[in-house]
Amino acid sequence: MSPARTRARPAVWFAIAALSAVACVIAWSTAQRSVDVAPVIEGAPATVTVVYDPQWLALSLLAAAAAGIAVVLGVAGRVCAARG
């Protein structure tokens, strides 16, 4: 492998990790919404709760896992390139 390619490959993994992390944040923020809950007892105030969408949560967990794997591969590539 050429030295330029060996140096460029970890950078690609770090870019993939950054994009996956951004996707994770976007999916997580999309997964939650606030909902008004009716009072349980007559005269009690209404409350607000957060409801999560399972598909968006699964996507955010998948994106977080992909980001973690990409970081590990990027660090491994950097270490291998440094050792020569």
- The structural domains of the chain, with segments of one domain joined by +, span 3-35+50-83
Bridge partners (DSSP) listed for residue 79: none
pTM for this model (two decimals): 0.78
- Collect all residues with Cβ–Cβ distance below 8 Å to 35 and sequence separation of at least 6: 48, 49, 50, 51
Whole-angstrom distance, CA of residue 77 vs CA of residue 11: 9
Q: How far is CA 20 from each of CA 11, 12, 41, 77, rounded to the nearest angstrom?
A: 14, 12, 45, 18
Query: Per-residue confidence of the chain (84 residues) as pLDDT tens digits?
Result: 566 666 678 999 999 999 999 999 999 999 999 999 998 888 899 899 999 999 999 999 999 999 999 999 999 999 988 887
